[in-house]
Amino acid sequence: MSTVYLVIPCYNEEEVLPVTVRELTRKLQSLIDQGLADEQSRFLLVDDGSRDHTWDLIAGYCRENRLCSGLKLAHNRGHQHALLAGLMAARTACDCAISLDADLQDDIEVLDEFVEKFHEGCDVVYGVRNRRDTDSVFKRCTARGFYKVMKALGVDVVYDHADYRLMSRRALEALSEYREVNLFLRGIVPLIGYRSDYVYYDRRERFAGESKYPLKKMVSFALDGITSFSVKPLKLISNLGILISAFSILGLLYALISYFFGFTVPGWTAIVCSIWLLGGIQLLCIGVVGGYIGKIYSEVKARPRFRVEELLNTPAEKPEDK
């Protein structure tokens, strides 16, 4: 049997917490009763520096509910950091941790499937949405566009997967080695690379309270995702520079021909030629600088360069000589 932690970031969630805690208690107890989780399993509510009574509520639940744990962050650090804080706190206490939102938009009835896949040997299980019909047309289109752009830029993200996922203790250990400040967990977790699988579920509407992800935050989150994982935009600048430089040579020819045939007003040729050529050269130079910045960017991230998944048939490690 394994110790399962459910990690739930909460920011100003006093309206949803009573129902969430009731539902999570019921679900976790049923996992325990079915033998999928052991008695040490908990759900961990992470208060992300809420300004309402979220922490008072959590503290109260922790006193009366043996399955409930709480963690309070000193500031509001955002969903991704709150989640990471919770996962890192759970890491040493659990065999696997599942992250989910406080509003229970992600169907908790599929938690059994997550744990079963873990018992089958998966280190990461991604929750993937079946349909997107509870979303507005706008959100659906922007989300699809986002995944397409990420794919085009070479970032490995799981389509229609948000942050509903299970990670084994070993995967959490691996996650702790990614020390980046601009956190985009959906991009990092696939980089870990251990055996993974998917669980499909339907996402509901938020039952109370309001979304903490308005459009502005969503856009900045998406941009963060792109710029934290891809240096391709920098390469695009170089390519654009090359393209415009090449184009400007054609323009140069055209301008010179026009000049010699006397189709131009005085001064036009010189201005047009310098605008195009200089513009192209400038972009190209920015691109070259960008190339170096891209290298600095990956070095500074200092991500682990490889991860050993299994070692077969190696001699046992020799104990240190005393």
Q: What single-letter amino acid sits at 208? A: A
Q: Which is nearer to ligand UDP, 82 or 185 (CB)?
A: 82
Using CB under 6 A as the binding rule, whether residue 105 contacts ligand UDP is answered as: yes
> Please, where are the H alpha helices in the chain?
17-33, 54-64, 79-91, 111-119, 137-152, 169-175, 185-192, 215-227, 232-260, 268-301
Q: Is 29 in the site for ligand UDP (CB under 6 A)?
A: no
Residue 8 backbone dihedrals phi, psi, to 5 degrees: -130, 110
**Taken in order 63, 65, 67, 71, is the CA torsion positive or negative?**
negative
Q: Lay out the site mask for ligand UDP across 158-197 (x = CB under 6 A, - = otherwise).
A: ----------------------------------------
Q: Which of residues 100-119 bind Mg ion (CB under 5 A)?
A: 101, 103, 105
Of 264, 212, 288, 194, give the one whose Cα is nearest residue 16: 212
Does residue number 76 form part of the binding site for ligand UDP (CB under 6 A)? Answer: yes
Judge whether 68 and 25 are in contact, CB under 8 Å: yes
Say how many residues touch ligand UDP, by CB under 6 A. 17
**124: β partners:** 167, 196
Q: Which of 29, 130, 176, 211 binds ligand UDP (CB under 6 A)?
A: 211
The verdict on 213 binding ligand UDP (CB under 6 A) reads: yes
Query: Measured from the CB of residue 51, what is the shortest distance to ligand UDP in angstroms?
Result: 11
Report yes or no: 42 and 65 within 8 Å, Cβ to Cβ.
no
CB of 106 to Mg ion, least distance (A): 8
Answer positive or negative: Cα dihedral of 101, 105, 107, 108: positive
Tell me how far, at minimum, the Cβ of 19 lies from Mg ion, in Å: 14
**Shortest Cβ 214–Mg ion spacing (Å):** 12
* 212 counts as binding ligand UDP under rule CB under 6 A: yes
User: Can you name the residues that pair with 48 across neighbouring β-strands?
Assistant: 73
Could you say whether residue 79 binds ligand UDP (CB under 6 A)? yes
The interface region with ligand UDP, picked from 90-98, 100-108, 129-137, 276-284 by CB under 6 A, is 100-108
- Interface positions with Mg ion (CB under 5 A): 101, 103, 105
